[in-house]
C-alpha cells in the first residue's frame, strides 16, 4: 500500500501545484465569457410580471376560472408583454399585434415549436405524437399533407356537402324552436361541424344527435379540448404532481381516452374511408404522394377532427349570440342574402362572398369581437430572440391574448370595443389571403401566427359562411322571454371559451325565398 502511495505522490504533488493554476484559468475564462456574452447581448429590459405569483407554483392559482380573461386584465395593467410563471415553466403573453408579428412571424424560424404537455405526448403513436406535439418528428410532413388535403381547390369539391349539412342544421334549429321554448344551439352546431368533417374526411356521417357513436365522439372532442387547457395539465407545470397524476388523476384519464377510445375509433374511421368508392380525404392522403404511414394518418385525422370541429361550433355559437343582440345587423344581412337568391335562384357559397360583402363582414367582425381560442395555441421559443428591448430566452412558451389583440386601437381605430361589421367593408379578402398578407392587412388574429398558423382557414371560412347564410336565409334569431344571451361572461372549455348557457329562438321567416 505504501509503495502504491509513493508511486502516486508525484502525481498528487503535481495535482496540488496544478489546482491554483486551474482555478485561476477558470476564473479568467468565466470573467472573459461574461464580458463576451454581455458585449454580445443587448442590455435587456425586465419583462413585467403580475405581482400575484406564489413561490414554486407561480401564477397557476392566480389565473382563475378563465385564464384568458385574467391575462387580458393583467395586460391592461402591465402593458403589451408580460411574464407568467406557470410553475416550472416561463410563459410570456403578448397583446400587441406588432410584437406578436415580430416574434412569431418574422422570427418564426426560432418560435414555431410546441411546448411539451402530457396530453400532446400521450397522443403518441409509436414514436410519434400529434402535430401539436414536440414529440412528433414528422409534424412538418403531416402538416403539409393536411394543408394540401384541405386547400381551397379540395374544399370546392365538398361545398355541396357542406351546404347539405347546413340545411339539415337549420331544419333542426327550426324544429326544436317549434317544440320547445328555445334552443341552445351548441350541440346542433357540433353535429353540423362533425358531420361536415366526417363527410369530407371519411365519406361517412352520423344519423342523429342521439346516435351513440356521435355522442361518444363529441365527448372525446370536448375532453381533448379540456385536456389541452392549462388547468388539466398541472403535472406539466409542477413535476411534483407527476407520480400522483400517473396513478390516480388526469394522466390515467388521458391515457384511457387516447389509447382505449380515440386511437381505435380513428383507425376504424380511416379503414372505412379507404373502402368507400367516393372521393374523401383518407383516400386523397393515402393515394397521393405524401409518404404517410398508418400512424401518420391517424395523427393527421385526430388533428383535423380535434382542431376543426369544436372551433367551428364555438365560433358559430358566438356569432348567433351577436346576431340576437343586433337585430338590425341580421335584417341587413337577410336583405343581402335575399337579393342574391332572387338573382341567382340558389343560396350563396363562400365563392360568392364578393356579392355578399356585408354578410362576410359580419362573420369577420364576430370572429374579431369574440375570440374562439382566446390565447391561441402556445408556441415554444427554441433559440434566444431579441424582441426590441426584451430578450426572449430559449425555452420560453409564448401565448397571445387574442381579445386584447383584436381590440387594439391602432389596428381597429373605429370603436374597437363595439360590434361594427362595417369596418370590414374595405377588407373583403378571403381569411386565408388576409393571414398571408402584410400585418396591416390582417383582418383578425383568430387563426394564430406564422409557420403554425391554422391550416384549416379555408375550410373554416366555407363552413361558417354556409352556416350563417343558411340560418339567416330561413330564420330570424330572436331572444326567448328569459332575455338576451349574456355576451360578457364565458365558460372555459380548455382551449376554447363558450358563452354562458343561453336559449334563443330560430323563428322561420314568412318571407324566406328558400322553400
Task: Tell me the binding residues for heme.
Answer: 454
Exactly one of 333, 381, 454, 504 binds ligand HEM (CB under 6 A); which one? 454
**Main-chain phi, psi angles of 93, to 5 degrees:** -120, 140
Helix axes 327-344, 310-325, angle to 10 degrees: 110
Between 58 and 308, name the residue whose CB sits nearer to ligand HEM: 308
Residue 285 interacts with ligand HEM (CB under 6 A): yes or no: no
DSSP assignment letter at 58: B
Between 49 and 377, name the residue whose CB sits nearer to ligand HEM: 377
Measured CA to CA, the distance from residue 462 to residue 459 in angstroms comes to 5
Residue 310 interacts with ligand HEM (CB under 6 A): yes or no: no
Residue 307 interacts with ligand HEM (CB under 6 A): yes or no: yes
Q: What is the dihedral of CA 432, 309, 173, 206, to 10 degrees?
A: 130
Exactly one of 117, 176, 251, 315 binds ligand HEM (CB under 6 A); which one? 315
Q: What is the dihedral of CA 281, 470, 168, 147, to 10 degrees?
A: 10
Q: For strands 385-387 and 390-392, give the pairing.
A: antiparallel
SS3 384: coil
Exactly one of 199, 329, 362, 459 binds ligand HEM (CB under 6 A); which one? 459
- For 86, counting Cβ atoms within 10 Å of its Cβ (0-12 exposed, 13-18 middle, 19+ buried), the class is buried
Between 235 and 373, name the residue whose CB sits nearer to ligand HEM: 373
Measured CA to CA, the distance from residue 299 to residue 175 in angstroms comes to 37
Whole-number minimum distance, CB 263 to ligand HEM, in Å? 17
Residue 446 interacts with ligand HEM (CB under 6 A): yes or no: yes
Exactly one of 80, 348, 456, 494 binds ligand HEM (CB under 6 A); which one? 456
**Contact mark string toward ligand HEM, 138..177, x via CB under 6 A:** -----x--x---x---------------------------
With CB atoms as reference, the residue minimizing the distance to ligand HEM is 456
Segments in 290-378 forming alpha helices (H) = 294-308, 310-325, 327-344, 357-369
Whole-number minimum distance, CB 24 to ligand HEM, in Å? 50
Whole-number minimum distance, CB 222 to ligand HEM, in Å? 16
Residues 96-135 that bind ligand HEM (CB under 6 A): 131-132
Measured CA to CA, the distance from residue 177 to residue 503 in angstroms comes to 10
Measured CA to CA, the distance from residue 170 to residue 188 in angstroms comes to 9
Between 174 and 359, name the residue whose CB sits nearer to ligand HEM: 359
Residue 83 interacts with ligand HEM (CB under 6 A): yes or no: no
Strand partners, 391: 386
Measured CA to CA, the distance from residue 271 to residue 269 in angstroms comes to 6
Q: Give the interface with ligand HEM as residue ranges (CB under 6 A).
A: 131-132, 143, 146, 150, 303-304, 307-308, 311-312, 315, 372-373, 376-377, 379, 446-449, 452-456, 459-460
Amino acid at each position: 500500500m505504501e509503495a502504491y502511495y509513493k508511486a502516486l505522490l508525484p502525481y498528487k504533488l503535481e495535482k496540488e501545484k496544478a489546482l491554483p493554476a486551474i482555478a485561476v484559468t477558470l476564473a479568467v475564462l468565466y470573467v472573459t465569457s461574461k464580458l463576451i456574452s454581455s458585449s454580445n447581448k443587448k442590455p435587456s429590459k425586465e419583462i413585467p410580471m403580475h405581482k400575484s405569483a406564489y413561490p414554486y407554483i407561480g401564477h397557476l392559482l392566480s389565473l382563475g376560472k378563465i385564464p384568458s380573461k385574467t391575462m387580458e386584465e393583467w395586460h391592461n395593467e402591465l402593458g403589451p408583454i408580460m411574464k407568467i410563471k406557470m410553475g416550472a415553466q416561463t410563459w410570456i403573453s403578448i397583446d400587441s399585434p406588432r410584437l406578436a408579428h415580430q416574434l412569431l412571424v418574422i422570427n418564426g424560424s426560432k418560435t414555431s415549436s410546441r411546448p411539451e404537455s402530457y396530453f400532446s405526448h400521450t397522443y403518441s403513436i409509436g414514436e410519434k405524437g400529434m402535430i401539436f406535439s414536440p414529440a412528433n418528428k414528422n409534424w412538418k410532413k403531416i402538416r403539409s399533407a393536411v394543408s394540401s388535403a384541405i386547400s381551397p381547390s379540395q374544399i370546392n369539391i365538398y361545398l355541396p356537402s357542406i351546404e347539405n349539412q347546413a340545411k339539415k342544421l337549420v331544419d333542426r334549429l327550426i324544429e326544436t324552436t317549434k317544440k320547445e321554448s328555445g334552443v341552445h344551439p351548441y350541440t346542433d352546431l357540433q353535429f353540423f361541424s362533425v358531420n361536415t368533417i366526417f363527410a369530407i374526411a371519411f365519406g361517412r356521417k352520423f344519423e342523429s344527435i342521439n346516435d351513440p357513436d356521435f355522442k361518444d365522439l363529441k365527448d372525446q372532442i370536448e375532453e381533448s379540448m379540456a385536456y389541452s387547457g392549462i388547468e388539466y395539465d398541472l403535472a406539466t407545470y409542477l413535476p411534483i404532481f407527476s407520480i400522483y397524476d400517473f396513478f390516480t388523476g388526469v394522466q390515467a384519464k388521458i391515457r384511457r381516452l387516447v389509447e382505449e377510445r380515440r386511437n381505435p375509433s380513428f383507425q376504424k374511421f380511416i379503414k372505412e374511408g379507404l373502402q368507400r368508392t367516393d372521393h374523401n380525404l383518407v383516400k386523397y392522403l393515402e393515394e397521393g404522394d405524401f409518404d404517410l404511414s398508418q400512424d401518420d394518418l391517424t395523427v393527421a385525422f385526430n388533428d383535423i377532427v380535434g382542431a376543426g370541429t369544436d372551433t367551428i361550433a364555438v365560433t358559430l355559437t358566438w356569432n348567433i349570440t351577436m346576431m340576437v343582440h343586433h337585430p338590425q345587423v341580421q335584417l341587413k344581412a337577410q336583405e343581402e342574402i335575399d337579393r342574391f337568391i332572387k338573382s341567382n335562384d340558389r343560396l350563396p357559397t363562400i365563392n360568392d362572398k364578393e356579392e355578399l360583402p356585408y354578410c362576410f363582414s359580419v362573420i369577420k367582425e364576430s370572429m374579431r369581437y369574440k375570440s374562439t381560442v382566446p390565447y391561441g395555441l402556445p408556441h415554444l421559443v427554441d433559440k434566444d430572440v431579441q424582441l426590441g428591448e426584451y430578450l426572449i430566452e430559449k425555452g420560453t412558451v409564448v401565448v397571445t391574448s387574442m381579445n386584447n389583440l383584436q381590440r387594439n386601437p391602432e389596428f381597429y381605430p373605429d370603436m374597437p370595443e363595439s360590434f361594427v361589421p362595417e369596418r370590414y367593408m374595405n377588407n373583403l379578402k378571403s381569411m386565408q389571403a388576409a393571414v398571408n398578407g402584410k400585418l396591416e392587412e390582417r383582418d383578425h388574429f383568430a387563426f394564430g401566427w406564422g409557420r403554425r398558423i391554422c391550416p384549416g382557414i379555408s375550410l373554416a371560412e366555407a363552413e361558417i359562411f354556409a352556416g350563417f347564410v343558411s340560418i339567416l336565409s330561413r330564420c330570424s334569431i330572436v331572444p326567448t322571454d328569459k332575455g338576451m344571451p349574456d355576451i360578457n361572461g364565458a365558460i372555459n372549455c380548455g382551449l376554447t371559451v363558450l358563452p354562458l348557457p343561453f336559449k334563443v329562438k330560430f323563428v322561420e321567416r314568412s318571407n324566406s325565398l328558400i322553400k
